[in-house]
Structure 1
């Protein structure tokens, strides 16, 4: 969020003319209101404002303008920058309010969030207090618009922009000082006069222009390659701050604009920002070239305001209601997101649009209280304001309090160990049909294996208390994703090609290829056991978010066409033609095209079914048998997190079969696979009774997240999967 260095004391607030004469910009105060309202309404999911997140980009431009202008005025007047005073002012202005909101948010999260989720949020709070949460989210691959985030968003996610701002403050003053030193060094080498060194503007313009060009180029590249890095990091956002700085350095040129061109420029800038808010969506590749619209829009408004701050759109932005919102913009930004995230937990249900808007207004009330009792008293108290060391001490104390609060709260998070009676492990003893037996024998083996699992499901449905011997333990469940990704055997979003990932008897004449996305990889533990028992060679060929279907696909995480997936598919098909496995097992997620995962097609739709038929037919033509595994049910929650909040009522996390299973889609897939000459396995009865889908079977946790099986449940179902593969091979 933005510094308010053009803000004023409470006494000056009552004297608008006096403040304006001292450089206060009413239009910038109003521009803050536009930015914060856009962000708040976007986070409140108001229809028609899918691009409201660009309000943060507007804040970046404002920060670049104000901070660069402040530093330039000081360096041109004194020849240097008082770093203690500069950083002290930033600390006094920003850190106490941020720490206060952070501490309240951490306390609320500790008692409102499920125990398994609370520690992650507390660590988010600690990193946010240290202003490096943007890199935490970046390294964790957190997508600001991710489909998964809606299940358990962090109430500190919005602090990423504060991290960018604080990092900007750390490097910008040394940058200005470095340019000043360089000018002096060059003049000294040339034996030129040193007088007026700091008043030479051109080198500073060149430095900021270089920063803008390099940063923008990096942003363009990483938006396509590593979107999380492009979105969260200072190097890829610095160009927006530099644009604001260039406007500040060119302010005297802007002031020469006649009123009419300045008015047109200001209104055009406001139009660009509003267009961004309404035209963009979470699917828009961002920042990339899209960020030019709000960035240039903000620059035009600020530049035009240098000439006519109270004319054109400045007249609108300077209205008292806009300025009032602008004054609380920083605190409102701090409060709105955690309140929106935690309010549903407090009331016990999700919020509708009206309730979200009321919640946003309540957060504005908290913002006013924060400004009134924390921000202003600490900012304007003479004993602090006039002492850089006390200002720095205040900021350090606020940060230390927030960090220590987070560390202390980690110690009071409730444990997530089940307290229910121990339960027996799921054990399936399938007897494979004898080689050469008729198909009836294979069908009978499948029915017998399914029946055993059904018996265990019926016995497990309605379990109240999480068993004390649950495997994997809830606290360890999230670690299983590392094994699902098979240590390189499942290709990531940006990887193509595929290494040799074979298990079992690698010299066997029977090769079974398990192919698909992460929903193929999650079955690898089952097939590894089968490979050892059947003396098969099992090869796992999987790629994140990439079903083996010839459909044009886009990635909501990469925000572009998923070309790596298309290339990987081609390579895998060519590889299968060369290797000629006896059986290809296809498995894939059925959430493509769902809310938050726009992929260019939708699971079960006609294009999906036609592509499935074509793929099966193509594989059959190459001489291999094909088995398509049906979908697993949608648990409709992050299961370990849900269970940690319902240790004494696990049924609260059990979805209804009717809502967790798409029966008509499964039937359509079965027909499509049969049409292509393959075999289809409806797996629903391995997860659901007639009406419910337990998330614990025996003592085994079924899901380690919101859509993947645990290694333990995959292995437990290995005998059943074995009967299905035996039948598919026998029908060749």
Structure 2
């Protein structure tokens, strides 16, 4: 039976999501609209499955998946193709290639797996949002429906087998009377209730645990979201019992449910630990609304949800969900951040396109007789989409790579675009610093982007420093992986986060050269300074505290000749104080970082022959590798400036390290001349994001780091200025 209030509830869900994505206050918790969709989907799909199971005693898997294909694939495929075309022509090459990769994952309904991986990769934290990022929820639904119909079919078979055993001769009191035969699938609903109760409880418990452990992958996981679809399914199973409740009770329950959804949308924000316990408010609220609409009270919210405008938006909700996010991302890339009135304008345009999409794509394909007459034909849509998408994605990638071809000469101290008659600059006697100075001049003189960049801007973020079996994040391993000269009698240890790890390509060479057994005790996201950072989503990183203590214990055991410390200085995350409270005041975090570096160096220095703090290269104000991959890219246009906050944090860490007796290496001169930081140095792209060094440029700096660290026997270490 059609329910207009469910269409209205779909409208509420998609509008909450869209308003949140467009940064329109006060709907900063509008992401809970996705959870509302999950519950609705579980309710409706299970209602259809149970009706078929009870009526027929079985379900048609071919029919089910064919209906899903006709419902989901047409609009999703058109939006994906349109988004890829817009990305190729309007986004940077880096972002366009990312969107193409995401489209492949989305084609196989695995986008949530891809985005969970990206989210847990600390190196990806500065990447722009994918225009197809919202496809993660579609993937979660389809993964659930890959399993749930199979379980319902198994329940049908189990019930049928149980009934046959009861109807054997000699069990007359259990046999069904010929005058009152049961429905073929009678008993399936009861079995489904038991199964769904187990699924809901287990999945919710896992959601709470996994969200506390690592909220980013938990957000995208089908295991943490299964209970949301399952609760909708359980509500569908309980419809006969719910219908018997007094209308007064159902009316009150409905208002409570709507209040739960709206309170979550208005009070939650991106810092809310989600899904976990927090998801219960909108999820249970949606289940209440679905139950209350079975026998709606005249004064219930169902009348508001069923008004024609809400029902119309509900009809368009699937298309609107698909179109609104890429529209916001593309508009933001073209015209700057979208929010407020500009966000409403973009959403209005997306809604108009969605209405057309519903009328011209969704409905015609779903009702196409050639597909609906024989369900097996609908299944052909799955391989057809794959056959269509993969060659088109390969073609789009070729177009992006062709656009990003450059033909300039490599920059040197004699080739930097000098104009005739200009005096020859007085470059530094340090060859690595001189190359930076020449690269700044090349950008100012309008030199072309060099050919054969290392790495290519499109691949700048693909290669990361390799740590072998000792990848201490996201898990925790109590093991060591010696590198360098394994027969050496001297030891070098590197301690810190990804900003320490980025020097491994150079340290590998130096350890071999000067006879050091090297150990890299690095965990991404865990500073070399003795501070506890706030996680990207919810709560202090207590596992970071454990790793820091473990690293000190290992240094105590190894008693290294040299311990090198590196630490991020570009983060805007706060730190957690001794009382467990978040501190995000800039002055206070600066002081905490300085004191934390002093404590860290003192603890490590007690067991080391020498401690060296490598300062963080200054973060830039935009991502140069992305800039270089734009259609109108130039060395002048991609010249970055130093981020002032990162300079303050590095200065604070330097002060703390020097007080504790460490040597200091300042890498700023290898990246910037005063406030100018070139996007290309020689033929190297120095950064893969706002703050991390590319592996290729780190390897190039081996000789420069060699001079600063003075690792050879008997060498006098460089002292901080």
TM-score, length-normalised on structure 2? 0.87
Alignment equivalent of 2:654, drawn from 662, 670, 673: 670
In the alignment, which residue of structure 2 is the partner of 1:571? 550
Do the aligned partners of residues 70 and 455 (structure 1) sit closer, same or farther apart at CA in structure 2, a change above 3 Å counting?
closer
How far apart, CA to CA, are the structure 2 residues paired with 1:653 and 1:596?
32
Which of 360, 365, 368 is matched with 1:378 structurally?
A: 365
2:471 corresponds to 1:493: no
Matches within 5 A, 1:144-183: 148=124, 151-183=127-159
The 2-side partners of 1:537 and 1:150 are apart by: 34
In structure 2, how many angstroms separate the alpha carbons of the residues matched to 1:411 and 1:697?
27
Give the corresponding residue for 2:44. Answer: 66
Write the distance in 2 (CA, Å) between the matches of 1:368 and 1:377: 13
Q: What aligned pairs does 1:148-547 form with structure 2 within 5 A after superposition? A: 148=124, 151-190=127-166, 191=168, 193=175, 195-196=181-182, 197-200=184-187, 201-225=189-213, 227-308=215-296, 311-347=299-335, 349-381=336-368, 384-393=371-380, 397=384, 400-415=387-402, 416-424=404-412, 452=434, 455-462=437-444, 464-481=447-464, 484-504=465-485, 506-509=487-490, 511-547=491-527
1:625-704 equivalences in 2 (<5 Å): 625-645=610-630, 649-657=634-642, 659=643, 662-704=646-688
- Two-structure CA RMSD over aligned residues (Å): 3.2
Change (3 A) 1:660 1:710: farther
- Counterpart among 19, 29, 32 of residue 10 in structure 2: 32
* Distance across 1 between alignment mates of 2:716 and 2:290: 69
**1:50-72 residue CA offsets vs partner (Å, 9 max, x unmatched):** 32111111111101111111111
Distance in 2, matches of 1:650 and 1:532, equals: 36
Aligned-residue offset at 1:456: 4.4
Q: Residue deviations 1:490-525, cap 9 Å, x none?
A: 42122243413332475234x332211011111122
Counterpart of 1:627 in 2: which secondary structure? Answer: strand
| 1:293 to 1:530, Cα distance in 2 relative to 1, 3 A | same
* Count of residues in Structure 1 that have an aligned counterpart in Structure 2: 683
When residues 170 and 502 of structure 1 are mapped into structure 2, their CA distance, relative to the original with a 3 A threshold, is closer
TM-aligned CA distance change 1:208 to 1:515, over 3 Å: same
What's the counterpart of residue 716 of structure 1? 700
SS of 1:264's equivalent?
helix
Residues 108-132 of structure 1: CA deviation (Å, up to 9, x unaligned): 1222222343233123223323323
Q: Which runs of 5+ in 2 are unaligned?
A: 169-173, 415-427
Selected match of 1:90 from 61, 65, 68 = 68
How far residue 574 of structure 1 moved from its aligned partner, in angstroms, is 1.7
SS of 2:128's partner is coil
Structure 2 CA distance for aligned equivalents of residues 69 and 465 of structure 1: 63
The correspondence for 1:43, drawn from 21, 36, 57, is 21
Q: Is the 8 A contact 1:418 1:647 kept in 2?
A: no
Aligned to 2:102: 124
Distance 2:382 2:699 in 1: 53
Supply the distance in 2 between the matched residues of 1:147 and 1:508 (Cα, whole angstroms).
34
- Contact map agreement 2:532 2:576 (CA 8 A) in 1: no
Q: 1:443 maps to what in 2?
A: none
Q: How far off its partner does 1:324 sit?
A: 2.2
Conserved? CA contact 1:308–1:314, under 8 Å: yes
> Is the deviation greater in 253-262 or in 492-501?
492-501
**Distance between the aligned counterparts of 1:129 and 1:664, measured in 2?**
45
Distance 1:469 1:245, change over 3 A: closer
SS of corresponding position for 1:157: coil
What's the CA shift string for 1:310-357, capped at 9, x where partnerless?
54121222223322221211110010111111113344x333432122
Q: Give ranges in structure 1 of 5+ residues lacking alignment.
A: 1-22, 427-445
Query: How far off is 1:179 after superposition?
Result: 0.4
Q: Distance in 1 between matches of 2:667 and 2:618?
A: 9
- Once the two structures are TM-superposed, the CA of residue 369 in structure 1 deviates from its matched residue by 0.9
Between the aligned partners of 1:405 and 1:465, the Cα distance in structure 2 is 31
The 2-side partners of 1:588 and 1:464 are apart by 35
Higher mean Cα deviation, 461-470 or 332-341?
461-470
1:219 and 1:236 in contact (8 A); partners too: yes
Residue 572 of structure 2 corresponds to 593
SS of 1:487's partner is coil
Q: Distance in 2 between matches of 1:150 and 1:492?
A: 18
State the 1:208 CA deviation: 1.8
1:584 pairs with 2:569: no
SS at match of 1:287: coil
Contact 2:440 2:676 in 1 (8 A): no
SS across alignment from 2:461: helix
Does structure 2 retain, via aligned residues, the 8 Å contact 1:35–1:58?
yes
Query: Could you tell me the TM-score, scaled by structure 1's length?
Result: 0.85
1:12 matched residue in structure 2: none
